[in-house]
Amino acid sequence: MVSDNYKEGNYTMEDLVMYGTPAEGVYTTSEIVAKYTGVSVEHVRHLTNKYHDELERFGVLVFENPKLGETGRPQKLWHYNEQQATLLITFMRNTPAVIEFKSNLVEAFYSQREELAHKTIALANIKPVNKSLSEVVHDSWPDNPHMYATIHNLALKVVTGKNAKQLKIMFDVTDAKEALNSSQLEHLERAKELMKQLILNGYSYQEIKATVLKERGAVNA
């Protein structure tokens, strides 16, 4: 049965697709396909195994073993790119749930590709700001090699309410910026630009912290 959230439209595009490695890009999984088509995960795995060669015409099939099944053995969680997911769905009966999922999945892949493109642009634009801020921090605190990391953590807290370590753990990423969407990356750039100007104006770290957190409405954070 299709979940109530799916029937009512109470889901986001991130529920249907997600980001993988840079090489993998945007993908969906066997569990997601099963959940929103109303078929069992075992049936999706069966179709994947049966049509493995056909699916790999559109790229290497990636899988992970995230949890144990009823037999106590790891169950493969398959990853499908857009072409693989589209082909996989053609092997299913055209039930109303399958037809609706097919349409929503196409939209989700498109939406997330757009988001990924915006995020890539934002990351590219943020690099010059980081370098400039790094130089300013070094000039102001030449004897403190950890000061830039402190400033960077403060900027992340302004944007997300969390520091780099927390974001890395929460989103399982090696670089905290990978946990941010394009809007947050742009906000991060603005926050760092503000902090750079405050440093150049002679503000102490505590004054900078109070100012930027007040702007966020989180002085006591």
Query: Domain coordinates of the chain in residue numbers?
Result: 4-114, 141-216
Q: Other CB atoms closer than 10 Å to residue 195's CB: what's the count?
A: 24
> DSSP code of 107?
H
> For residues 111 and 122, what is the distance between their CA atoms, to the nearest angstrom?
17
Quick one: pLDDT at residue 72? 62
Alpha helix (H) residue ranges in 38-95:
41-50, 52-55, 82-90
pTM: 0.54
**Bridge pairing between strands 26-29 and 18-19:** antiparallel
Residue labelled with tokens 């002085």: 219
Rounded average pLDDT over 137-156: 94
Distance of CA 117 to the CA centre of its chain: 13
Summarize pLDDT for 171-193 with one digit per residue, the tens: 999 999 999 999 999 999 989 98
> In the predicted model, is pLDDT for residue 2 greater than 60?
no
